[in-house]
Amino acid sequence: MPYSMTAFSRTSGQTPWGEITCELRSVNHRYLEINPRLPDEVRSLEPQIRDRIAQHVKRGRVDCNIRLQQQELGAEDVNVNTDLVAKVITVADQIHAQNSNLQPLRVVDVLRWPGVVLAPQFDEDQVGTVAMECLEDAIHQLVDIRRREGERLLSALLVKLEGAREIVDGLKNAVPDWQQQFRQRVEKRLEDAQVELDPSRLEQELVIYIQKSDVSEEIDRLDAHLEELSSVFQQDQPIGRRLDFLMQELNREANTLGSKSIDTRLTQASVELKVLIEQMREQVQNLE
């Protein structure tokens, strides 16, 4: 089952220090490219984050954005280092006794002193655990969305594939008749123009021209590529790059059909085939 490369997921989790949010956004890319944007509190987890994403996503550009929205501290969360406060006040009194012109120490000045106000101790391990849990949930969401989108793309591709098969099957039966009709038209025009040619020479030239314009090999290769395309659709692994190659081969054969055309109906069939191949190619660009 093919997977789409385009998806978005978002999860969140709570810690004593605030809410962690994880967003994953994947878009088309030739290879796998992972771009984490992490807060300093979990930056050490970047190798693990890259590894977890790479285990589930094989192709595409994946932007991983993890944020920590720290909550405001309540009165019950604030502790004061009273020993340090006493030392600061003692030193301030000593300095003021030596120079009475100095402004007395204010309470707000004491609270601003480094180490006086003690916030709850930050536990990086706990925050990291919640961040990885959010990442895991986001990855599962992302993969599920990519799978569902891949199913829709596959349905659309199968319709286009069936249309291409109908054109190729029609060519298998029609090309011999078109070659015969071409021979008859040439002979009719020569007859109307009352041009006398050596019959054996005429036959030789017609055979050479029809051989040069023979598209049986191109039709056989188109048929084989379409069969391979159908087989690749059933594979349970990343298939996008293989499909890219098959689209190029199909388009090459369709172009050759048009260049060798000896009948307007063959030209029209070539154009219709190229339209279907281009539509498939656009869809294939979204597959992993």
Residues 180-227: tens digit of each pLDDT: 666 656 555 555 555 565 566 555 655 555 555 577 788 889 999 999
CATH architecture of 7-73+124-147: 2-Layer Sandwich (3.30)
The DSSP letter of residue 134 is: H
pLDDT tens per residue across span 106-151: 877 777 778 777 666 677 888 899 999 999 999 999 999 999 999 9
Radius of gyration of the chain (CA): 37
- Among the residues of the chain, which ranges form H helices? 46-56, 82-98, 107-112, 124-192, 199-212, 216-233, 240-259, 264-284
pTM exceeds cut of 0.75:
no
60: left (phi over 0), alpha (psi -120 to 50) or beta: left
Q: Is the dihedral of CA 133, 135, 137, 143 positive or negative?
A: negative
C-alpha distances out from residue 88 to 27, 106, 112, 116, 223, Å:
57, 11, 11, 9, 88
- pLDDT digits over 245-273, tens only? 999 999 999 988 877 766 777 788 889 99
Average pLDDT, the chain: 83
